[in-house]
Amino acid sequence: MINEKRIVVLVSGGGTNLQALIDAQKKGELGSGKITCVVSSKADAYALTRAEQNGIKTRTLIRKDYSDIASYSKAMRDILLEEKADLIVYAGFMTILDENVCDAFEHKMINVHPALIPSFCGKGFYGLNVHKAALEKGVKVSGATVHFVTAECDAGPIILQKAVEVLEGDTPETLQKRIMEQAEWKILPQAVRLFCDGKITVNGSVTVINQ
Ligand code: GAR
C-alpha cells in the first residue's frame, strides 16, 4: 500500500489491546496503518502468541537483561529505527522508556492508560493497581485514555478518553474488565486510525482532532 504506516506495538502481558488492534486491522479499521512488528519486554507474554497466530513479526527485548533504563531505552530505540516504525503503540507495555526514545519518536508514540488521566496515573499506576486505587478513592466514574508518550510518565498530550461507570461491588478485576471492553479496546484502535489518517494535530500539550 502506498503511504502505508508501519505500526510497532510494544507489549508486556496478555495482549488484549494488541488483539483489539489486530481485529480492527482485519476489519480495515486502521486506515493506512499496518502492524508490522510486536516487541515484548517479557519472554512469556501471551501477546507474543497472539502476534504469531496472526502472522505478525515478533521480537523480544527483555527488560531484566539490561542493568538500567538508559541502556534498555537505547536498545529499544535501535529496534524501532530498524523496524522503520511510523507509529509506536504501547499496548500494556509496562516499562518507562527515557527521553532517548521519546525524543527520537516525538508525537509518534501513543499509550493506552486504564484511567481518566490526570487521575490514577504516573509512576506505579499500571495494570490492576490503577483500578485498586480508583476503588479505594471511591470514584463513581473511571475510564481509559490514549495519549502521546513523553519522557514524563502518562503526561503527554491526550488524544482520546472514554468514561466508564464504576458499579457497586466492583473489584479491581471486574472494573478492569469493564474498562477494557467498554473503553480501551475501542479508543485505542480509533486513535491509531486517527493518527494514520493524519488527523491529529498537537498544539503544545493539547491535541486537536480534525475529523
Ligand atoms: C491494560 O489495561 C492497559 O491499559 C494497562 O495494562 C493492561 C494491559 O492489558 N496498561 C497500563 O497500566 C500502562 N500504564 P493487555 O496486555 O491485555 O492489553
Could you give the 3-state DSSP secondary structure of residue 1?
A: coil
Active site annotation includes 113: yes
Pocket of ligand 1, beta carbon within 6 A: 13-17, 47, 91-92, 112-114, 126-127, 130, 180, 184
Q: How many helices (H) and strands (E) does the chain have?
A: 7, 9
In this structure, which amino acid lies at residue 176?
Q
**Residues of the chain with confidence (pLDDT) below 70:** 1-2
pLDDT score, position 43: 97
CA of 2 to the centre of ligand 1 (A): 32
State which ligand 1 atom lies nearest to the alpha carbon of 180. Answer: 2
b vs e for 165-200, b when ≥16 Cβ sit within 10 Å of the residue's Cβ?
ebeeebebeebbebbbebbbbbbbbbbbbbbbeeeb
State which ligand 1 atom lies nearest to the alpha carbon of 47. Answer: 16
Please tell me the residue having the least CA distance from ligand 1 atom 10.
92
Could you give the 3-state DSSP secondary structure of residue 69?
A: helix
3-state DSSP percent of the chain in helix, strand and coil, to 5: 35, 25, 40
E-strand ranges in 28-140 read 33-40, 58-60, 87-90, 109-113
Please tell me the residue having the least CA distance from ligand 1 atom 3.
92
CA of 93 to the centre of ligand 1 (A): 7
pLDDT score, position 3: 85
In this structure, which amino acid lies at residue 117?
I
Fold of 5-209: Rossmann fold (3.40.50)
Please tell me the residue having the least CA distance from ligand 1 atom 9.
92
Radius of gyration of the chain (CA): 16
Query: Does residue 172 have a cis peptide bond before it, meaning omega lies within 30 degrees of 0?
Result: no
C-alpha cell at 132: 485498586
pLDDT score, position 87: 98
Answering whether pTM is above 0.85, one says yes
